[in-house]
């Protein structure tokens, strides 16, 4: 069986280093807000090319706290609108609605699967305060047009960079393009912790200070609470693991690019729609193909020993969690959710496994 993602194998590559830093943390007697977090924040900020990185408990909290910070600063208030792609992972949308802001779902581009920037302007109202772009599957969502729209309507741009760490747009990394960005280090992400972790990056001193305080009980000085914050901190042990794994991220992303290139050049089945995008602008968190006969394709791949996943099977607006949107029609998102299949992609796949995936996909007959 070719696994969709062999996490054990990924982390095993660095087992000696990971065990060493874990025992250092145990022996240090210091488990939160210590020097390992500080080192990771500095390393990550330098890697992304941004002034501040603030550790958070997970990616959802990173996004949630960016918006909470904007509300605390007075940039947004309850009921204001945030534009978000309709086909994103539910976390992007939850971060908005959890702050009693209104998510405004916009259809993606059928070729890139990222928000269709040409549709944004017609969704802007006098309550719109921000656009949340999601670099979905690892592919950059950015353009000059997007910057122009934000400037013209005085909107913040928040990047959901959970899936695209390391991706580059015109020599700048995702996470440094907008006003603030949320990252996830969920174990399966391109930079994965061994548990939950996340980060906010921003060039704004005000945002950085506010997010840091809000994630630590609204406090800058211990037991002095300026805001009604929450508890969302990145553990020392996860920071230590992430410091180890960050060194290998570029090499792992390069391997993902090689595999994606091989898939794109060698999958020739006419019934399969390949993803667009290559080069620096895609770090291939996921390799997503489409088929109008998905059920048969899934069955065929399974019979050939290939594990697949669907990202995502149900669009946000069809989930029970957002039942008020269930009657909405978003045909492009719905088409994507009906047809997508993720092929295995990970830095630890072997040549023989990659070839086996290609031949299984190519032998699919509709």
Q: Which residues bind ligand PLP (CB under 6 A)?
A: 58-60, 88-89, 91-92, 134, 160, 162-163, 184, 186, 196, 198
Q: For the CB of residue 271, give the shortest distance to ligand PLP in the complex, in Å.
A: 28
- DSSP 3-state helix, strand, coil percentages of the chain (rounded to 5)? 45, 20, 40
The number of angstroms, rounded, from the C-alpha of 55 to the middle of its chain's C-alpha atoms is 15
Q: For the CB of residue 333, give the shortest distance to ligand PLP in the complex, in Å.
A: 14
Taking a C-beta distance cutoff of 8 angstroms, is the pair 49, 169 a contact? no
d(CA 201, CA 45): 7
Which residue lies nearer to ligand PLP by CB, 163 or 216?
163
Which helix (H) or strand (E) is 134 found in, with range?
strand 128-134
Which residue lies nearer to ligand PLP by CB, 272 or 288?
288
Q: For the CB of residue 95, give the shortest distance to ligand PLP in the complex, in Å.
A: 8
Which residue lies nearer to ligand PLP by CB, 239 or 361?
239
- Give Cβ neighbours of residue 345 (< 8 Å, ≥ 6 apart): 256, 259, 260, 263, 284, 286, 287
Q: For the CB of residue 77, give the shortest distance to ligand PLP in the complex, in Å.
A: 24
Q: For the CB of residue 162, give the shortest distance to ligand PLP in the complex, in Å.
A: 3
Which residue lies nearer to ligand PLP by CB, 182 or 344?
182
Which residue lies nearer to ligand PLP by CB, 25 or 60?
60
d(CA 341, CA 360): 14
Which residue lies nearer to ligand PLP by CB, 57 or 207?
57
Q: For the CB of residue 43, give the shortest distance to ligand PLP in the complex, in Å.
A: 19
d(CA 220, CA 212): 8
The number of angstroms, rounded, from the C-alpha of 174 to the middle of its chain's C-alpha atoms is 10
Bridge partners of 185, per DSSP, are: none
């Amino acid at each position: 069986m070719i696994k969709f993602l062999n996490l054990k194998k990924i982390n095993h590559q660095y087992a000696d280093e990971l065990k060493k830093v874990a025992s250092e943390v145990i022996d240090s007697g210091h488990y939160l807000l210590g020097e390992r977090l500080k080192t990771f924040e500095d390393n990550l900020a330098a890697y992304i090319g941004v002034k501040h990185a603030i550790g958070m408990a997970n990616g959802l909290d990173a996004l949630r706290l960016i918006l909470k910070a904007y509300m605390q600063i007075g940039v947004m208030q309850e009921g204001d609108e945030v534009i978000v792609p309709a086909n994103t992972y539910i976390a992007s949308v939850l971060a908005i609605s959890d702050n009693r802001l209104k998510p405004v779902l916009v259809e993606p581009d059928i070729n890139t699967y990222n928000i269709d920037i040409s549709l944004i302007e017609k969704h802007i109202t006098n309550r719109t305060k921000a656009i949340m772009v999601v670099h979905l599957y690892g592919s950059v969502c950015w353009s000059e047009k997007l910057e122009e729209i934000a400037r013209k309507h005085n909107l913040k741009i928040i990047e959901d960079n959970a899936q695209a760490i390391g991706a580059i747009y015109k020599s700048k990394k995702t996470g440094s393009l907008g006003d603030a960005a949320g990252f996830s280090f969920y174990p399966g992400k391109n930079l994965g912790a061994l548990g939950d972790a996340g980060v906010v990056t921003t060039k704004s001193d005000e945002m950085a200070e506010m997010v840091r305080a809000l994630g630590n009980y609204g406090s800058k000085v211990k037991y002095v609470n300026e805001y009604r914050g929450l508890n969302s901190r990145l553990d020392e042990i996860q920071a230590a693991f992430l410091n180890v794994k960050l060194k290998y991220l570029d090499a792992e992303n390069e391997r993902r690019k090689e595999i994606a290139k091989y898939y794109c050049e060698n999958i020739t089945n006419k019934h399969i729609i390949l993803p667009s995008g290559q080069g620096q602008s895609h770090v291939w968190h996921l390799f997503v193909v489409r088929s109008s006969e998905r059920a048969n394709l899934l069955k065929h791949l399974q019979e050939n020993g290939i594990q697949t996943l669907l990202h995502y099977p149900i669009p946000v607006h069809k989930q029970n969690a957002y039942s008020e949107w269930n009657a909405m029609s978003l045909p492009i998102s719905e088409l994507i959710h009906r047809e997508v299949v993720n092929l295995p992609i990970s830095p630890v796949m072997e040549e023989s496994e990659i070839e086996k995936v290609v031949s299984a996909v190519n032998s699919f007959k509709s």
